């Protein structure tokens, strides 16, 4: 079975000459000659209204999160970390305490201040939700970047080189894979939250958002690297790679110029799925106190802080929980649509606990 056979051809002309890869089957018997694979994928994606709608939902969440400072300063008139525990607010002619003497925070006021209610420290949940979104999405994006870059490097080197290099890299990935992702994340998160990460020139403070981003990013590398390695093992035996070797191209050029473009569609499919997983993993680390450090908000930390107020102030967990669900749902459904568009026959699955990524054709 050829791993790459179900994937669309890369736009480069070299693979376009490969028999069969220039033609993309749309449906039984239908052939559209001369249409590029990515244009074809875009056409398929446009036809998938559900995926587009969820993609737009995710974009909308990202956009409002980016605009958090605008909402905080112009509408809510408070920052994400500002405590208002003993203050009062007028709602419908009634004066209400932001946090009651018994410690229960106010619920949604549906007004500019405390629109979605307050948390136990009297902080505006709507403001923190948006700032938390920025943090969660930032960590998700950075973690995904780290995962993909490292996984591509490992996958390429491992699959292309085979032999001892593959042996060492694969065993290293196995070790990382064998450790439960949550436990590993929590262990690293707790350690680094205290002392930060110090690698000589590269130093991160314990409270830096990059700490959970690096942890989540590294923890997921094996799950993607193994999938890519499997593909590279197949691709390196293909005729176009033999042709490149015959032309005297070096290993690095073959890996980057011949094999990597053929991984592109897989990578494109994996990115949104890994983004969703990274956002979820950040939340799960933060719930356990090993992710985003207080007082910085993230959807995970907000859920963790609100748990002890269930059911008296359920908005403290419900609001960030719904936001997290919508964001992950949005990117996941869009990612599925993207996968279907890029290769209707491929099945790329990225599970969550434990995460597993595999590509079958």
Partner 1 sequence: MTVSQGSAPDFLDPGLGYTTQAANADWISYTGLLTYAHEAGTAGSKLIPGVATDLGKISPNGRVYVFTLRKGLVYSNGEPVHARDFAHTIERSIKLNWGGKSFFTGNIEGAEAFDKGQAHTISGITTNELTGQIVIKLLSPFGAFPNVLAFPSAALLPSNTPMTNLSNNPPPGVGPYMITNVVPNQSYSVVRNPKWSQDNIPGIPAGHVDIAVKINPNTQSEAERVLNNTADIFDWADTIPPSLLPQIESHASDRFAKESTVSNFFFFLNTQTKPFNSELARQAVVTGLDQRALSRLNSGFLAPGCFFLPPGMPGHPRGACPYGDPNAAPNIAKAKELVQRSGMAGTPVTVWSETRAPKREYATYYTNLLNQIGFKATQKVIADAQYFATIGNLSTNAQTGYANWSQDFPNPSDFYLLLDANSIQPQNNGNFSQVKDPHIQNELAVLNAVPTTKLASVVSRWEALDEYVARKAYVAVFGYGQQPKFFSDRIDFGAAVFHPVYGNDWTTIQLK
- Residues of the shown chain interacting with partner 1 in the complex, contacts defined by CB under 8 A: 81-83, 85-86, 99-104, 120-122, 190, 193-194, 206-207, 289, 293-295, 305, 308-313
Q: Whole-number minimum distance, CB 206 to partner 1, in Å?
A: 7
Length of the chain: 361
Identify which of residues 84 and 238 has a Cβ nearer to partner 1 in the complex.
Answer: 84
Token pair for 307 = 């748990």
Q: Work out the angle between the directed axes of helices 125-161 and 210-219 (0-180°, nearest 10).
A: 40
Name the pairing type of β-strands 94-97 and 197-199: unpaired
Pick 28 or 102: Cβ nearer partner 1 = 102
- State how far the alpha carbon of 207 is from the alpha carbons of 55, 62, 66, in Å: 31, 23, 21
CB 289, min distance to partner 1, A: 5
Q: How far apart are CA 250 and CA 64, in angstroms?
A: 47
- Measured in whole angstroms, the distance separating CA 319 from the mean position of its chain's CA atoms is 21
Contact 307, 317 (CB under 8 A): yes
With respect to partner 1, which residue has the nearer C-beta, 119 or 166?
119
Do 32 and 26 touch, CB atoms closer than 8 A? yes
Closest CB to partner 1 among residues 42, 82: 82
Q: Toward partner 1, which CB reaches closer, 62 or 304?
A: 304
Residue 35 dihedral angles phi and psi, to the nearest 5°: -90, 125
Compute the Cα dihedral for 312, 315, 318, 321 and give only its sign. negative
Nearest distance, CB of residue 68 and partner 1, angstroms: 18
Take residue 250 and report the two structure tokens written for it: 């070096």
Cα four-point dihedral sign 108, 114, 116, 119: negative
User: Taking the complex as a whole, how short is the minimal distance between the CB of residue 72 and partner 1, in angstroms?
Assistant: 15
> Minimum CB separation from partner 1 for residue 177, in Å?
26
Strands (E) across 78-168 are located at 88-91, 94-97
Report the nearest approach of partner 1 to the CB of residue 103 (Å). 4
In whole angstroms, the minimum distance from the beta carbon of 303 to partner 1 comes to 13
Nearer to partner 1, 92 or 101 (CB): 101
Using the minimum distance from each CB to partner 1, give the nearer residue, 16 or 295.
295
Residue closer to partner 1, measured from CB, 54 or 114: 114
Contact criterion met (CB below 8 Å) for 219 and 281: yes
What are the two backbone dihedrals, phi and then psi, of residue 175, each rounded to the nearest 5 degrees? -60, -45
Closest distance of CB 143 from partner 1, Å: 21
């Amino acid at each position: 079975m050829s791993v790459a056979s179900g994937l669309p051809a890369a736009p480069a002309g070299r693979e376009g000459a490969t028999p069969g890869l220039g033609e993309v089957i749309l449906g039984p018997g239908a052939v559209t000659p001369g249409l590029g694979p990515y244009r074809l994928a875009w056409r398929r994606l446009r036809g998938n209204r559900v995926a587009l709608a969820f993609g737009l939902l995710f974009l909308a969440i990202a956009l409002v999160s980016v605009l958090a400072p605008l909402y905080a300063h112009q509408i809510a008139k408070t920052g994400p970390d500002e405590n208002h525990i003993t203050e009062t607010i007028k709602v419908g002619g009634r004066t209400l305490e932001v946090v009651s003497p018994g410690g229960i925070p106010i619920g949604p006021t549906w007004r500019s201040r405390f629109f979605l209610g307050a948390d136990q420290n009297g902080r505006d949940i709507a403001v923190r939700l948006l700032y938390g979104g920025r943090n969660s999405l930032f960590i998700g994006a950075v973690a995904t970047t780290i995962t993909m870059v490292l996984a591509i490097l490992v996958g390429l080197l491992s699959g292309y080189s085979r032999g001892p290099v593959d042996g060492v890299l694969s065993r290293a990935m196995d070790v990382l894979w064998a450790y439960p992702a949550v436990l590993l994340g929590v262990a690293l998160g707790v350690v680094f939250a205290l002392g930060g990460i110090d690698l000589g020139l590269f130093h991160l403070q314990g409270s830096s958002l990059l700490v959970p981003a690096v942890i989540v990013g590294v923890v997921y590398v094996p799950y993607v690297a193994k999938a890519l390695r499997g593909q590279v093992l197949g691709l390196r035996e293909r005729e176009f790679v033999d042709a490149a070797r015959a032309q005297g191209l070096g290993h690095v050029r073959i890996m980057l110029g011949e094999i990597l473009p053929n991984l592109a569609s897989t990578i494109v499919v994996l990115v949104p799925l890994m983004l969703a997983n990274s956002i979820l993993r950040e939340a799960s680390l933060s719930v356990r106190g090993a992710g985003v450090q207080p007082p910085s908000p993230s959807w995970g930390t907000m859920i963790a802080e609100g748990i002890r107020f269930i059911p008296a102030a359920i908005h403290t967990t419900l609001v960030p929980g719904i936001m997290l669900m919508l964001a992950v749902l949005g990117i996941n459904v869009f990612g599925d649509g993207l996968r279907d568009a890029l290769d209707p026959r491929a099945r790329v699955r990225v599970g969550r606990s434990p995460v597993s990524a595999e590509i079958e054709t």
